[in-house]
Amino acid sequence: MLSATSLVIGTITTVLFGAWILRRLRGSSEKRESWERHTDAQQRAPPVELGERQTVVVDDFSEHHSGERHAVGKVEGFVVFVEDIPTDLREGEVIDVEIRSFNRGHTSASGVFLEYA
């Protein structure tokens, strides 16, 4: 026969494991919302055109696989990676860029620095 302690430990373990499984299957609401926004972004047309001049705020910097430093900005939430940036460019600065290309799927664009805005 099972002792009361073993029965309680088994019940707690089963409940915790079941809750963990349910969370894994459902996912958190934040993850689900993020995935839905990502899917929507992949299906919408980019808010920029090739050759177009755009003004962006530098949000961040990234290292290109070539070792070059690129600025990262957004146009209506659409990510634009900016090449040929000045070495003294800082986060929060506003710059003008020319859109040169899109990535595969048109979910982000690459542009070239034109001037400080």
Q: What is the pLDDT of residue 84?
A: 95
Q: What is the pLDDT of residue 31?
A: 77
Which ranges of the chain have pLDDT less than 70?
Answer: 1-2, 27-28
Reference 108, options 79, 69, 71; nearest CA is 79
Which residues pair with residue 69 across a beta bridge? 63
Beta strands per DSSP E along the chain: 53-57, 60-63, 69-75, 78-83, 94-102, 108-116
Q: What is the pLDDT of residue 4?
A: 80
Per the confidence metrics, is the pTM higher than 0.75? no
| Mean residue pLDDT across the chain | 88
